Chain A
Amino acid sequence: MEDLFTGKLVRLAGVDPDEVSKSFAQWSRDSEFMRLLDTDPPRLRSSRSIKEWIEKDFEDNKDMYWFAIRALEDDRLLGDITLSVVDWGSRNTFMGIGIGAREFWGKGYGTDAIELLLRYAFTELNLRRVSLNVFEFNERAIRSYEKVGFRLEGRERQVMQREGRRWDIIDMGILREEWMENYGYNISDL
């Protein structure tokens, strides 16, 4: 059996609410990071308030799988990645990722974390597909999603307003069979 949590550049680790809330309070001061992460206008929340929110989220969302992303080289916390099971009947999910530490943007760390998450989704949770939304101005993320095998499934027109104009949200998805083909798995392997 494979090590599900270790990739080439990063590992997936448990979320410590205290540590992640402190890091997130720092990352959220970078408005570019916040505006790539969410449609909500950014708020500068205290690490205490973020910690309470994280703990409540763990409590309320039993169907969310939430990992800290750490660099293999020095174990530094870079960001987080989540997988929310939309419904178990159809085994469909949404993923989301944020790399808060700017030095790690555009160097393959996020891509590596997504590859780990997909393997977890398809081989441990036995899901049928993973969906995601990304803003049309987040080109770096779109390239990364395409690299790991997500396919474009459409555009929600003019969903967002930023800097005086409207922007589309792009919808992407990857099916279990596509993932298996990309990574050279056979049905009998799983």
Chain B
Amino acid sequence: MGKPVAVFLLLEMLYAKISPCKERGSKRRFIMLNIQTPLFEARDIRLGPIDYEKDPEVESRWTHDSEFMRLMELKPVRPLAPAMVKKGYKALEKEIEEDKNLFYFTIRAQEDDRLLGKAVLEWIDWANGNGYLRMGIGSGGDRGQGLGTQALGLLLRFAFAELSLYRVTVVMPEYCQAGIALARKFGFVEEVRRRKAVLRDGQEYDLLVFGLLNSEWTQAGSPE
């Protein structure tokens, strides 16, 4: 007789979960979409659009920081003038419009909306539910304060709860230690090690591919 009791308890738990969404006085028992959960807001940061007036100047400064650029890019890095950054934004928004497989967010400060970094989901393969993630906090002074953790939390929630992707992939050279630690914190699994795929300062580094499945993300919950 143990089983029916267990089932009854489970039903009661389900009912408890459902009931807050139930309309008062009605008999409706479906789970409502939690539409009040903000997709783009975290404690200290928010995801926002590109600001064509203010952002080129800031991002141009980042491109002159070779250490940051070597964490973000595999191609040889090059400094870009603000005008060229702006041109890049236009090309990017055109690509988003045409290909429909790219989501681009700026990471901005809650307090004054200044640009802190970028968070991108790209090369989305809709048929297979697969996307690549790229993220960076541009200025050294803004790093190490948990802003990246908040941004990645939002970006993964967007990828899995809004886009319903099956999995998300991140590719990073083995020297990106902060990025690797952050990915591991969210449960990303190291899947591939492309041996010596990166050559910098005469040193050979492995290129790592990390993957996180929607099911793993759901089970673990956000580390926040």
The reply to whether B74 and A90 form a contact with Cβ atoms under 8 Å apart is yes
Tell me the complex Cα distance, A112–B41, Å: 55
Interface secondary structure of A, over-half rule: strand
- Residues of A contacting B190 with CB < 8 Å? 154
A171 in the interface (beta carbon within 8 A):
yes
Query: Across the interface, which residues of B come within 8 angstroms of A171, CB to CB?
Result: 191-192, 194, 209
B195 within 8 A of A: yes
Q: A86-B74, A87-B74 are in contact. Are A161 and B191 (CB under 8 A)?
A: no
Docked CA distance A50–B200 (Å): 39
Q: Is A98 an interface residue (CB 8 A)?
A: no
Task: Among A40, A151, A161, point to the contact of B129 (Cβ < 8 A).
Answer: A161
Closest chain B residue to A90, Cβ basis: B199
For the complex, is A111 an interface residue (Cβ under 8 Å from B)? no
Is A119's beta carbon under 8 Å from chain B? no
How far does the alpha carbon of A171 sit from the alpha carbon of B193 in the complex, in Å? 9
Using C-beta atoms within 8 Å of the partner chain, give the interface range for chain B. 20 to 34
Specify which chain A residues have a CB less than 8 angstroms from the CB of B199 in the assembled complex: 89-91, 128
Interface flags, B190-224, vs A, CB<8A=1, else 0: 11111111111000000101010100000000000
Would A156 and B75 count as touching, CB distance under 8 A? no
The answer to whether A159 and B130 have CB atoms under 8 Å apart is yes
Pick the contact of B194 from A40, A41, A153, A158 — CB < 8 Å? Answer: A153
Contact A153 B198 (CB under 8 A): no
- Interface set of A (CB-CB < 8 Å, partner B): 39-41, 86-92, 128-129, 131, 151, 153-161, 166, 171, 173, 175
- 13 residue pairs from A and B, CB less than 8 Å apart: A86-B74, A89-B75, A89-B199, A90-B199, A92-B198, A92-B207, A151-B195, A153-B194, A156-B211, A157-B213, A158-B213, A161-B166, A171-B194
